[in-house]
Chains A and B, each alone.
Chain A
Amino acid sequence: MARQTELLKGTLDLLILRALEVESRHGLGVAERIEQVTRGAFVVKPGSLFPALHRLEQQGFIDGEWTVSPAGKRAKAYKLTAAGRRQLTAEKKLWARIAEAVGLMLGEQEG
């Protein structure tokens, strides 16, 4: 699994942005969301997650904000910015094109 995420490092940003599309989440929330939606295909470990989150924050695609939970615990929650939303759209399109191209390639090989 770890190997899988390693291989698909380029797609990690897309997955994180997608996980934050609807609502803001903290680190663990993002990891859980990705695992849940991909039905366990991607398990994002903190070693990849946090550098990616901080990089995206640095690039201005997501914004980290300290929140206090009802239980009184402080947590840093990330939300998508306008730039992040644009980036997500662009990455989705790019991904669709790659998927289509790779699909064509595989189809041709088989036929």
Chain B
Amino acid sequence: MALRRKLARLWQVLFQRSRLDRELDEELRAYLNDLIEKKIAAGADPAAARREAMLEMGGVTQVRADVQRIRIGAGIDALWHDIRFTCRTLVRKPAFAVVAILTFALGIGANTAIFSVVNETLIQPLPYKDSSQLAFVWADSTAIGYPRGPLSGPELKDLRQHGTMFSAFDAIWGSTSTITGDGDPQQMRIGFVTTLFFDTLGAQAFLGRTFNDSDSGDRAPGVLLSWALWQRRYGGDPAIVGRSINVNGQPTVVVGVMAADFRLLFPPDASVPEDLEAWLPFWNVTEGLRRQNFLRVIARMKPGVDLAQAHDEVSQIAARISREYTDYGSRPRAFNLVGLQADGAREIRPGLLALLGGVAILLLTACLNVASLLIARAAARTRETALRLAIGASQAQIVRQCLVEGLVLAIAGGIAGALFAQLSLRVLLALRPPALSRLSSAGIDGVVLAFAAGTALFCGILFSFAPMIEVFRTDVIGGLLGSIRRVGTARYRARVVLVTLQIAFGLVLLIGAGLLMRTFIHIQQLDPGYSSGRILAFRLSPPADASESQIVTNDFHRRMQSELAALPGVTGVGAVSHYPFDNIPNWGSPYLSREGQEPGTAIFADFRSVSPGYLETIGAQLLEGRFFSEADDNTSGRPVVIVDDLLAKRSWPGESAVGKRIAVDPAVTGRDDRRRWATVIGVVRHMRIRSLVEDLTDQVYFSIRQVPRPTSYVVRAAGDPTALVASTRDLIRKLEPQVPVYDVRLLDSYLEAPRSVKRFTMQLALAFAGVALVLAFIGVYGLVMYSVNTRRYEFGVRVALGAQSGEILRLVMREGILLLSAGIALGIAGAAVTGRFLESQLFGVSAVDVPTYAIALAVIAAAGLLASWLPARKASVSNPLEIIRTE
């Protein structure tokens, strides 16, 4: 009953306000009339009675306002009124509104875009079932330079047997296979998996099924196709499941097709390419060789098990393996267990967090700008505020008005910011480096929108407090009678602080961007030990009959290489098993460098097979001995290798490496009896083929005529390498019509991948810094302009008293320079502190790099000086008499 009454009342207040007010007025008028009549009846003359009654009433407007204020929903009503009022004033001064909303939209938009990336890569779970239970098992072989190595089949078996905290252990191995039939033969990136690998991930097939235990038997193996391969090679044939296709010359039944959005999001050093084209089941993988380490093992922890406990158990299993098997010699096995999500984001997390920090500073700068604008506006409205206070507005009302104003701006800015975020996300995705592949599914979803809304509201409240600074001190009389000069010093001081901070933040971002830029330039200029410029790269698979014997294969490649070398415009030709930064799995194994060396102490090396001419073509630097010749083939009976200087120095310090012997197992079987001794014929400078910024592992180069591998060609051009594409294709078609040529790219493009992340962060940081610079410029300009306006009278008097225009200019510039100096000092301190968080992103440049600081400082100083010179000039050329007259 009471509630219904109140609701009815609320309805009236909100929607029948004018009727309520009319009735109230009538009631008050009746009261006044009654009072007058009473006084007349008591003997007063009508005029006096009226005056007395009015006095007693104490202001009808005031009473009316008091009644209105106690009404239910009066707050909502007043809020609505404030909102309408704010919108009207904003529309009346569109320039202010546009600048404020755009500034804010920029800040919110950039933040939202970066946050959506962070959300996708660091916050959102991986697209697997209960992905928080998934973990990666690494073999820690730091001692031999391989901290994140693979495991062997028997070790997988041990984990399965002894792991009580896990519901499953499964493994994958990235490899290549050839598909024949249905068109050109094709070399494909495939993943060998344990049968329940997909079940453990919780991934379903789009068509057919994934593997199950029936696939591990003796019968013909099944193959699981990726969506891309199914579309490309089989035209999305819906009847593909159950068909037999030729994989490595063997008929293989297609058991299923994975969905288009299925991706393996493993860390890059797992050598499990994201774009695997098909999967085959392992056959009896757990019965393999104990020391043949090639498996990338994923684990699913039982519900409720935490990572630390699980890690302990895995470590204990490794310790047990080391005790039970002598194969490992003096070097015990150690396993690390890391969350799949954390591991996948390992490389990009620091970069992303640095970007998020940068963009947060940008948002702060944008907020400072809007706050500064609001203060300026509040200053211009001092008289209005004083008037409102004088006619009975409470301070709470003024505060509410300020808040509403801030929030209206924030909401408008937030909406514009969300649109801007959508746009900038598209740009981000276009620029996205391959290492951020997970990004492609980043989007503006509920979480991101909530983030944007939350940030907008927070900032809105924050900056709407700015103009309130003087509300509580507004001297009503002074505000009404005096000029702006008499109030507003607190506001001016507040703006000084805001603008100083803007300059400081701008400088921090400029320095950050500068450091990232120097890093990128540094990486770009690094000498990786070879030169990838002007080289065309392509792969080809020799015809099936050529793979039958190595002699035939060698003849095929010899002929191919000499024909290619004879093409006009070609200055060098070679073939290699892996390009630098290739997207096929790494190849390598431990080697022995002395007779009688205990196998457990063997150091890991990367293996590459190269043709005679390859090292010359890519410009490897020969330090000792000789390059390969065509004589170093399988008929020579003498296995030879070229090693890098790291291996040479480690194995034979102070001695010549040429003529020494190392024991290697190119088949990477892990069996000691499969090792063979090879003679070192040359030493080349270490080539950075897996990391641009550090020397990772020792390198062993085999002659591809002795150790054959799938072959990738390099052709160095005298001029533009793309001009060779057509002639190369024509030549190969003429020589071997059946041989497919694929992955035709510039060798440079392979090196782009490691550079692209740095390029990406640099581009973003530059964009942030640019925006912050503009904001700082606007901030300084606005403040100095404001100060010039308030001091017009003073300047007028000064000029009238004989001051030269140069003096006025100096006076104003001094103010700008003071602002700048304070901001720069603060900014340098800020950059020195925040630089530490950027350190992981830097290479070849110190976080307190003096030239970078100097350039950033010069840029911001130039912008600041220009921003204060413009209003200063205006002040110095204005006519003093005119100013004095208008004041």
Contact = CB atoms under 8 A, between A and B. Distances in A.
A46 B30 contact: no
B562 to A, nearest CB: 101
Interface in B29-53: 30-31, 33-35, 38
A74 B28 CA distance: 12
Interface residues on B, range: 20 to 34
Interface residues on A, range: 10 to 19
A58 B9 contact: yes
B70 A51 contact: yes
A50 interface: yes
Contacts of B26: 74, 76
A60 B7 CA distance: 12
Contact of B6 (A45, A58, A75, A76): A58
B72 interface: yes
A54 B31 contact: no
A59 B27 CA distance: 19
A46 B54 CA distance: 11
Contacts of A51: 63, 66-67, 69-70
A54 B71 contact: yes
B70 A55 contact: yes
Contact of A45 (B5, B23, B24, B56): B56
B28 A50 contact: yes
A85 interface: no
A58 B68 CA distance: 12
A50 B63 contact: yes
A83 interface: yes
Given A27-B27, A76-B27, A50 B66 contact: yes
A47 B63 contact: yes
B713 to A, nearest CB: 89
Contact of A60 (B2, B23, B38): B2
Which label, helix, strand, loop or mixed, suits the secondary structure of the B interface? helix
Interface in A47-69: 47, 50-51, 54-55, 58-60, 66
B62 A27 contact: no
Nearest to B58: A47
Given A45-B56, A73-B30, A74-B26, A50 B67 contact: yes
Interface in A28-56: 28, 45-47, 50-51, 54-55
A76 B23 contact: yes
B30 A74 contact: yes
Nearest to A83: B2
A36 B620 CA distance: 113
Given A26-B30, A60-B5, A75-B30, A45 B58 contact: yes
A46 B59 CA distance: 9
B57 interface: yes
A102 B72 CA distance: 34
A42 B878 CA distance: 64
A51 B5 CA distance: 18
Contacts of B69: 51
A59 B35 CA distance: 27
A28 B24 CA distance: 14
A54 B30 CA distance: 16
A47, A55, A73, A83: residue with the most chain B Cβ atoms closer than 10 Å: A47
B31 A58 contact: no
A73 B67 CA distance: 23
B71 A58 contact: yes
Contacts of B31: 26-28, 46, 50
A47 B62 contact: yes
Contacts of B1: 60
A34 to B, nearest CB: 14
A51 B69 CA distance: 8
Contacts of A46: 28, 31, 56-58, 63
Nearest to A28: B34
A52 to B, nearest CB: 8
A97 B24 CA distance: 36
Ranked nearest first, the 6 interchain pairs of A and B with the lowest CB-CB distance are A28-B34, A51-B66, A76-B27, A27-B31, A51-B70, A75-B30
7 contacts: A27-B31, A45-B58, A50-B67, A54-B67, A58-B9, A75-B30, A76-B30
Given A60-B5, A74-B26, 13 more contacts: A26-B30, A46-B63, A50-B66, A54-B24, A54-B70, A54-B71, A58-B9, A58-B72, A59-B2, A60-B2, A73-B33, A75-B27, A76-B26
